Structure 1
Amino acid sequence: MIVALDGFLDAGSAGALACSHLARTGASSAEGGGVVVATFDVDQLHDYRARRPPMTFARDHYEGYEPPRLVVRLLHDVGGSPYLLLHGSEPDTRWEAFCRGVREVIERLGVDLVVSIGSVPMAVPHTRPIAITHHANNPDLLVGEGLWRGELRVPSSAQALLEVRLGEWGLDAQGFVAHVPHYLAQLEYPPATIALLEQVELAARLTIDLAELTPLAAEREEEIGRYLAANAEVADVVAALEQQYDTFARAEAEGSSLLADDEPLPTGEEIGQQFEQFLAGLEGPDDNGGSGRKEG
């Protein structure tokens, strides 16, 4: 079962894009996004005032209310192998009850592995390979060395708690977190989605059709490249991130310190000043009088 919840762990909308892609490509048109085999009562889990669902006001009345959903769908990969997709709004409350509900789904439907995906904003350049943090509640599921050498105190999430609880119940769970350039975190960033789904293929032994995502990723990269070519100050910040990334990579390869002595990473304030117009530049009119396109 693949798990990807909207909200906290979704920089670049990588998980949301993955879910929409899987639902579209993993089901026949007759199924309309796959057969829903389980649903959660979002009224018990969602804080409506914190995350207000959208609806439409049409001239003189309200209509088109889009309630939050949290469902499990039955899908199939390219070769016809079945798998489940748990997706929707991350619960705001009752995380323990949510975990127990997922456990019930797992036991009833005979799930043997849970694979979660997510993404976080990081001070990394978009011109380098997307780093993936791999985690699991069973050491045998881990592949290779992780990126982190010590311990980090991080904000928790429903997905993270689910992995912990499943481990306590003797159920295998692993996950992947993509590192998205933080200056692109508010945009839809297909390269991160592709990187995550490639990991899912390996972990879950699935074959996922990524053909639709590849041109979207290339289009986004070209769009960013055009903007950087026209904005030297922003390009300089990306160059600084590239230098820091390469220094980190060399240190890793040589087994030396991961911190460069004389090459400090730009501060959040410095990067924020350089990129405060980045999104506006991508979304606003281009040089030919057209308009940029925001995705996500």
Structure 2
Amino acid sequence: MGNLEWLDGPAARRREAGSSAEGPGPVLVAAFEGWNDAGDAATGAVEHLWERWGATTIASIDPEEFYDFTATRPHARREAGRRVIDWPANEFGWAEPDGTNGVVLLRGVEPQLRWRTFCGTVLEVADELGCEWVLTIGALLADVPHTRPTPVFGTAEDPGLGGRLGLGPSEYEGPTGILGALQGECGARGLPAASLWAAVPSYAPSAPSPKAAVTLAARAVTLLGTTVDTSVLDLASLSYERQLDELVAEDDTTLEYVHLLERQHDASERATDDGVVPNADQLLDEVERFLREQ
């Protein structure tokens, strides 16, 4: 497609081989700023993988066709004595972490226009590089406490890939974002795809969540069969928890809400351990009643 710009780099040999290359191909891992990225957790996870694996940019998508620039505005800055405009960027990076046949990382921004064409452009890269499957990463706001481990759930529509990764199909029906559109296009083309989603506390919607980002990164590398150093995100997660502890403690209503969520989480954990949680429904009703009253 004319809106895709390829750059020379370490993935050139793989691109030349494409889907005809012998053996399993690389995996495309994608995350987008916007509706699918609560707490910047999804893009934070991919950004961390990009940096730690030393990914090299191999391609980018021209934003002209896909964005309403009055909604997603470009940024102006000065560099080396001149004015520079940064447009919404969708960049593909090539990395070769241990135990893989290569990973193609996509860090992007959810477009406003021509989603089907945009998804086709993304999958053109997957096809050129002979990608074996696609992993999308997202994050959503949910009724979860910041004081407990970040919940992450995964789905896969393809039975073969799902069986290999231990994931089942999604039961969700309703409005979707670019990740849902990309998953749908993968299915239409017969390209196996999986998705990971992290839950971010709804009472801290504007705070970047390194805690959710590190959980997504760790789960992603497990599915990919490799590893990544997460020490930087681990330290940032401790700071994130301390800051939220202080903010929550300043408001009795929010503190009460967090305690309710903690009780609900702990009850769910006990259900997993022993299969019996007599008050689980009562706790859920209590949370919902609290939200209605507030």
Q: Which runs of 5+ in 1 are unaligned?
A: 28-33, 272-296
- The residue that corresponds to 1:163 in the other structure is 183
Q: Structure 2 residue aligned with 1:223, among 202, 220, 243?
A: 243
Q: Which residue of 2 aligns with 1:16?
A: 43
Provide the C-alpha distance between the structure 2 equivalents of 1:157 and 1:228, rounded to a whole number of angstroms.
Answer: 30
Once residues 118 and 75 of structure 2 are traced to their aligned partners in structure 1, the CA distance between those partners, rounded to angstroms, is 24
Pairing 1:124–2:124 present: no
Return closer, same or farther for 1:256/1:46 CA change in 2, 3 Å cut-off: farther
Partners of 1:138 and 1:202 in 2: CA distance: 19
Change in 2 beyond 3 A, CA 1:93/1:210: same
CA distance in structure 1 between the aligned counterparts of 2:176 and 2:235, rounded to whole angstroms: 34
SS at match of 2:286: coil
State percent identity of aligned pairs: 28
Structure 2 residue aligned with 1:181, among 184, 196, 201? 201
Note the C-alpha offset of 1:44: 0.6
Q: Is the 8 A contact 1:12 1:187 kept in 2?
A: yes
Question: Residue 152 and residue 24 in structure 1: after superposition, are their counterparts in 2 closer, same or farther (change >3 A)?
Answer: closer
Which string of whole-angstrom CA distances, capped at 9 and with x for unpartnered residues, describes residues 237-267 of structure 1?
2111212333444456338896327842145
Question: What's the offset of the Cα at 1:54?
Answer: 2.4
Report Cα offsets for 1:195-248 as digits up to 9, x if no partner: 111111111112112121111111111222233344444322211121233344
Match runs of 1:203-222 below 5 Å? 203-222=223-242
3-state SS, counterpart of residue 132 of structure 2: coil
| Corresponding residue for residue 6 of structure 1 | 33
For the residue of structure 2 that corresponds to 1:259, the secondary structure is helix
1:242 aligns with 2:242: no
Q: How many Å apart are 1:117 and its aligned residue? A: 0.7
Deviates more, 1:207-216 or 1:233-242: 233-242
Distance 2:101 2:172 in 1: 37
Q: Does 1:87 align with 2:107?
A: yes
Q: Following the alignment from structure 2 to structure 1, what is the Cα–Cα distance between the partners of residues 56 and 280?
A: 47
Change (3 A) 1:269 1:65: farther
What stretches of structure 2 of length at least 5 have no aligned partner? 1-27
Matched, 1:108 2:131: no
Given the superposition, is the C-alpha separation of residues 137 and 256 from structure 1 closer, same or farther in structure 2, using an over 3 Å criterion?
A: farther
Answer whether contact 1:137 1:164 (CA < 8 A) is retained. Answer: no
Aligned-residue CA RMSD (Å): 2.9
SS of structure 1 residue aligned to 2:287: coil
- Secondary structure of 2:197's counterpart equals strand
- Corresponding residue for residue 66 of structure 2: 45
TM-score where L is the length of structure 2? 0.78
Q: How far does residue 72 in structure 1 lie from its aligned partner after superposition?
A: 0.9
Equivalent AA in structure 1 for residue 62 of structure 2? D
